[in-house]
Amino acid sequence: MSTSCIILIRYDEIGLKGKNRRFFENLLLDNIKYKLREIDDVRYQSPHGRIFIYADEATAEECARLLTFVPGIASLSVGVAMEPDASTIGEQGIRWIEPLLLDKGSLSFRVKTQRSDKSFPTPSPEFNHQVGSEILQKLSEKGLTVNLRQAEFTLEIEIGEKETVVFKDRVPCSGGLPVGSAGNVLTLLSGGIDSPVAAHMAIRRGCRSHYIFFDNQKFLGRGGYDKVLRLTKRLNAYQREARLYVVPFADIQVQIRDLCSPPHRVVLYRRAMYRIACALAREQSCLALVTGESLGQVASQTLENLAAVSCVVPISVFRPLIGMDKVEIIRKAKIIDTYPISIEPQPDCCSVFMPPRPATRSKIPALEKDEAKYPFAELEKAALEAAEVIACDEL
């Protein structure tokens, strides 16, 4: 086996964790090992404040790609160990930079050396200059320039006592905290753009997110169900061991539609969803609900209506998108790659279940009066009993 590449993992936020730091580091390492479980011949080292991964040259780029999904990693660099010799390092730099240069037409670069081996005879600035000159000599005619402040590509050299490692440009990663460090939440996941982004934001803060989807296949077909399966599979790139609960919701929606006042319908659907989600969260040891609601986005998301749904559950309700507009949410959905699935057409329930004029400022006593008109407790029990449980790792 030729373990010729080294991947350096950096984690900013965990570094600030004081006495709990080891707990966060161990969890991160565990999540990293799980992510790379299918790649052969990978070794790990975790000295103070960093993680090193040793991988074969053929698999290192794939490891790096997979690691960009792991919450807790701030950035990573792929490097190779070599002799601390300016001309050999220069050749390596050329091998990395030349293809980028050909691709972009021009590129600025710099060399940054750190010496922990103080017996190394050449001072860092001089070594930067020596390596930089080797590279520039070969590539300046092809459009390579030097920029010491804001280079597009930084070649990093670490000269240590045991070995010298030369790193390619840093790859920015997800940041945040390792999944599992904050406990479990239950995300109300619809097939839309918003809720997958909300789930990802909770995952990025160390939560493991399970999901609940209220399904109305009877009236709307399998489209929503299929989308949600694929969304949870995609979100699974960021975590593991998540479960999706698919709760049949048609009977409840029909009763609300037929028995309650039309302007209240949307908030009543949402109150029913919250109650069922809360019951499931308690049973499954989830400490909060997460939704994709954002203030003012639609009629059901005014301050009054948000209060009217939150108040039915004695559990924290997190709305990570509350202050974001649609453009920002879409940008995030594209980054986490749930957007292409979310925008696939899906039959919506407007014509069948939505009232022409939904109330934007629902009053809680009036909602309660309306709710007394349909047998929620009975329907809730039946819905929970009929829920399908899907292990997202197996999708």
Distance CA 32, CA 54 (A): 13
Distance CA 196, CA 321 (A): 11
Single residue of 154, 300, 302, 338 touching ligand ATP by CB under 6 A = 300
CB 239 within 8 Å of CB 34:
no
Residue 292 binds ligand ATP (CB under 6 A) = yes
Q: How far is the CB of 292 from ligand ATP (least distance, A)?
A: 3
Closest CA to 247 of 190, 196, 304: 190
In the complex with ligand ATP, the residue whose CB is nearer, 173 or 277, is: 277
In the complex with ligand ATP, the residue whose CB is nearer, 94 or 246, is: 246
Single residue of 92, 181, 184, 190 touching ligand ATP by CB under 6 A = 190
What dihedral angle (degrees, nearest 10) is formed by the CA atoms of 186, 191, 195, 201? Answer: 80
Residue 189 binds ligand ATP (CB under 6 A) = yes
Distance CA 24, CA 178 (A): 7
Residue 188, binding choice from ligand ATP, Mg ion, none, Cβ under 5 to 8 Å by partner class: ligand ATP
CB 338 within 8 Å of CB 202:
no
In the complex with Mg ion, the residue whose CB is nearer, 181 or 301, is: 301
User: Residues 6 or more apart from 300 whose CB is under 8 A from it?
Assistant: 266, 267, 270, 293, 309, 358
User: Residues 6 or more apart from 240 whose CB is under 8 A from it?
Assistant: 31, 34, 179, 393
Structure tokens belonging to residue 381: 């029990």
Q: How far is the CB of 347 from ligand ATP (least distance, A)?
A: 12
The residue written with tokens 């402040």 in the block is 149
Single residue of 31, 164, 181, 190 touching Mg ion by CB under 5 A = 190
Q: How far is the CB of 328 from Mg ion (least distance, A)?
A: 17
- Select the span of 38-46, 75-83, 100-108, 288-296 touching ligand ATP (CB under 6 A): 288-296
Sign of CA dihedral 333, 335, 337, 341: positive
User: Interaction with ligand ATP in 209-248: which residues (CB under 6 A)?
Assistant: 212-214
Structure tokens belonging to residue 188: 């109300």
Distance CA 271, CA 305 (A): 10
Q: How far is the CB of 213 from ligand ATP (least distance, A)?
A: 5
Residue 288 binds ligand ATP (CB under 6 A) = no
- Select the span of 51-59, 65-73, 278-286, 291-299 touching ligand ATP (CB under 6 A): 291-299
Q: How far is the CB of 229 from ligand ATP (least distance, A)?
A: 13
Residue 77, binding choice from ligand ATP, Mg ion, none, Cβ under 5 to 8 Å by partner class: none
Strands 316-318, 107-115: parallel, antiparallel or unpaired by DSSP?
Answer: unpaired
Single residue of 25, 156, 158, 293 touching ligand ATP by CB under 6 A = 293
Amino acid at 383: A
- The DSSP string of 233-260 is HHHGGG-SS-EEEEEE-HHHHHHHHHHS
Residue 300, binding choice from ligand ATP, Mg ion, none, Cβ under 5 to 8 Å by partner class: ligand ATP
Strands 107-115, 144-146: parallel, antiparallel or unpaired by DSSP?
Answer: parallel
Residue 127 binds ligand ATP (CB under 6 A) = no
Residue 193 binds ligand ATP (CB under 6 A) = yes
The residue written with tokens 């590449």 in the block is 5
User: Interaction with Mg ion in 22-81: which residues (CB under 5 A)?
Assistant: none
Single residue of 90, 192, 206, 224 touching Mg ion by CB under 5 A = 192
Which residues in this chain contact Mg ion in the complex, by CB under 5 A?
Answer: 190, 192
Kindly list the residues in this chain that would bind ligand ATP in the complex (CB under 6 A).
Answer: 188-190, 192-195, 212-214, 273, 291-293, 297-298, 300
